[in-house]
């Protein structure tokens, strides 16, 4: 029996009978070929059973693939187990960047794209939208390569796969020219201003995040990440929609030390040192937290905001912080943003699952009129039938699963419940 292991937050204990860490493609092929059931782990930043299996769990953290930059095609090809923070400096030194990053740069690339994990920005698609090609090891140990260029719709169905099609071994990402970002934080934005000027506020920078504890009629912090063409510091407006510019560096959770946060106060720096909320050289310990997130259509954002605010007396006592941010539409079948711009309402809870478990149905029902889609990798209690009804291409994805994994080697309880259930 494999040694007991848990996810990053420590709220889920994996049940896999075997744990393997192949270092080469050939080793990975052998592991997959021999396993009856198998699943990739990623960096363990999911909060539910999505990466578990009754059979063999595979980590690609030691997978030996040298990152390759194709300057002509503006792409980066990496081993799927690499984390964003491991390639950022390499890209920047070569004059390139990825278009967007999540809050933490310490998550694995393959895990982030498999669950449609996202950063923020009106015109920024989730992290999976940067994928232009995938190499994966299928159930019989064969290597299959899919690309946007040659596989079209099949590729659009395979990128956000929940690990159901095979073990992704290599990922090719589209790159953009490296750029500079200034980060500015405003404090105590009146809720009435956000409701009246939502579009203007969330589109005020390349990436915008709103942080609140739902304790009153205001948003505690607005983090603006401005894309700029120089590295000079710029003083922000002292007042903006009734909010005041922060004069000291902040953590997203007020009261916590800000050393781990990316630089603020208008000081410009490289994209990878500003787009995440936390520094690349900051290694997060096991998180004493739980997370949920629901994504609503952009047009419903203000109504959803009001619905959540009506529950603030129930939410606030269980909350560390909540983040609101926008994500652009895409064409990926299992992305919550398939052909629709959405706004994510993210909740970082205290580590009290029983209390959170009782609250989530109430929160989900309040958001149900706005077609709120739960994040695949977070905690939710939305019934499987409702989740399935939210994805127009679910039937097509099932056909893709049947074609690439006819025996269900990559199935697990999570897929059985939310995809096949």
Of 163, 111, 43, 120, give the one whose Cα is nearest residue 295: 120
Q: CA 136 to CA 81: how far, in whole Å?
A: 12
Q: CA 246 to CA 109: how far, in whole Å?
A: 33
Instruction: Give DSSP secondary structure letters for 51-80.
Output: G--SSEEE--TT-----EEETTTTEEEEET
Q: What average pLDDT does the segment 37-65 reach?
A: 93
Of 296, 328, 301, 86, give the one whose Cα is nearest residue 195: 301
Of 60, 17, 12, give the one whose Cα is nearest residue 166: 60
Task: Please answer whether residues 74 and 176 qualify as being in contact, where contact means their C-beta atoms are separated by less than 8 angstroms.
Answer: yes
Of 332, 311, 331, give the one whose Cα is nearest residue 322: 311
Q: What average pLDDT does the segment 380-384 reach?
A: 97
Of 6, 4, 7, give the one whose Cα is nearest residue 17: 4
Q: What average pLDDT does the segment 51-59 reach?
A: 96
Q: What is the pLDDT of residue 284?
A: 66
Contacts of 184 (CB under 8 A, 6+ apart): 205, 223, 224, 226, 236, 245, 246, 264, 265, 266
- pLDDT tens figures, 307-356: 999 999 999 999 999 999 999 999 999 999 999 999 999 999 999 999 99
Q: CA 296 to CA 54: how far, in whole Å?
A: 33
Average pLDDT of the chain to the nearest whole number: 95
Q: CA 392 to CA 133: how far, in whole Å?
A: 23
Q: How far is CA 237 from CA 110, 126, 268, 274, in A?
A: 39, 30, 16, 19
Backbone angles phi, psi at 355, to 5 degrees: -70, -40
- pLDDT tens figures, 215-225: 999 999 999 99
Task: Please answer whether residues 311 and 363 qualify as being in contact, where contact means their C-beta atoms are separated by less than 8 angstroms.
Answer: yes
Q: What is the pLDDT of residue 233?
A: 72
């Amino acid at each position: 029996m494999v040694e007991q292991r848990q996810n990053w937050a420590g709220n889920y204990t994996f049940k896999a009978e075997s744990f393997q860490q192949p270092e080469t493609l050939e080793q990975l092929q052998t592991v997959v070929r021999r396993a009856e059931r198998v699943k990739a782990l990623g960096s363990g930043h999911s909060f539910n059973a999505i990466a578990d299996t009754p059979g063999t769990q595979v980590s690609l953290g030691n997978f030996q693939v040298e990152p390759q930059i194709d300057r002509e095609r503006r792409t980066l090809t990496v081993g799927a187990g690499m984390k964003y923070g491991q390639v950022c400096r390499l890209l920047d030194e070569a004059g390139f960047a990825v278009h967007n990053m999540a809050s933490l740069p310490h998550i694995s690339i393959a895990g982030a794209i498999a669950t449609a994990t996202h950063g923020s920005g009106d015109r920024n698609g989730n992290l999976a939208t940067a994928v232009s090609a995938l190499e994966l090891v299928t159930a019989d140990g064969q290597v299959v390569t899919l690309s946007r260029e040659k596989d079209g719709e099949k590729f659009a169905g395979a990128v956000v796969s929940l690990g159901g099609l095979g073990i992704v071994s290599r990922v090719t990402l589209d790159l953009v020219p490296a750029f500079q970002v200034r980060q500015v934080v405003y404090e105590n934005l009146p809720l009435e201003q956000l409701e009246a000027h939502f579009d203007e506020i969330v589109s005020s920078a390349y990436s915008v995040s709103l942080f609140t504890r739902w304790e009153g009629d205001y948003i505690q912090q607005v983090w603006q990440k401005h894309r700029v063409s120089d590295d000079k510091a710029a003083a922000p407006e002292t007042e903006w929609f009734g909010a005041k510019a922060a004069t000291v560096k902040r953590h997203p959770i007020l009261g916590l030390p800000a050393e781990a946060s990316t630089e603020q106060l208008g000081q410009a720096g490289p994209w990878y040192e500003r787009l995440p909320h936390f520094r690349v050289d900051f290694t997060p310990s096991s998180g004493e937290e739980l997370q949920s997130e629901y994504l609503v259509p952009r047009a419903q954002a203000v109504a959803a905001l009001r619905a959540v605010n009506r529950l603030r007396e129930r939410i606030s006592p269980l909350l560390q912080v909540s983040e609101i941010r926008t994500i652009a539409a895409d064409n990926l079948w299992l992305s919550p943003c398939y052909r629709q711009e959405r706004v994510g309402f993210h909740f970082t809870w205290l580590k009290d699952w029983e209390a959170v478990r009782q609250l989530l149905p109430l929160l989900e029902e309040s958001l149900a009129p706005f077609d709120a889609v739960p994040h695949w990798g977070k905690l939710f209690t939305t019934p499987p039938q409702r989740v399935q009804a939210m994805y127009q291409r679910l039937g097509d994805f099932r056909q893709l699963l049947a074609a690439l994994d006819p025996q269900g080697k990559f199935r697990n309880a999570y897929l059985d419940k939310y995809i096949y259930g």
